[in-house]
Amino acid sequence: MHPEQPSTLNRIAELKRKIADAFKGVPAPAHDRIALHECDECTELRDAFAGKDWRSMDCEFLEAYFSRLSLLSPEALPYYLPAYLLCALDNFDPDNMVAEFTIYHLSPEERIAQSHAEWWREQLRFLTAEQMAVVGEFMQLVREHEGFRVYLGDVGPKHEQFREHWTNRWL
Q: How far is CA 27 from CA 20, 46, 126, in A?
A: 14, 16, 11
Q: What's the pTM value of the predicted model, to 2 decimals?
A: 0.89
Domain layout of the chain by residue ranges: 8-167
Instruction: With beta carbons less than 8 A apart as the criterion, state whether 70 and 80 touch.
Output: no
pLDDT tens digits, residue range 52-69? 999 999 999 999 999 999
Instruction: With beta carbons less than 8 A apart as the criterion, state whether 13 and 143 touch.
Output: no
**pLDDT string in tens for the chain (171-residue length):** 334 456 889 999 999 999 999 999 999 999 999 999 999 999 999 999 999 999 999 999 999 999 999 999 999 999 999 999 999 999 999 999 999 999 988 887 766 656 777 888 888 899 999 999 999 999 999 988 888 887 777 777 777 777 777 777 766
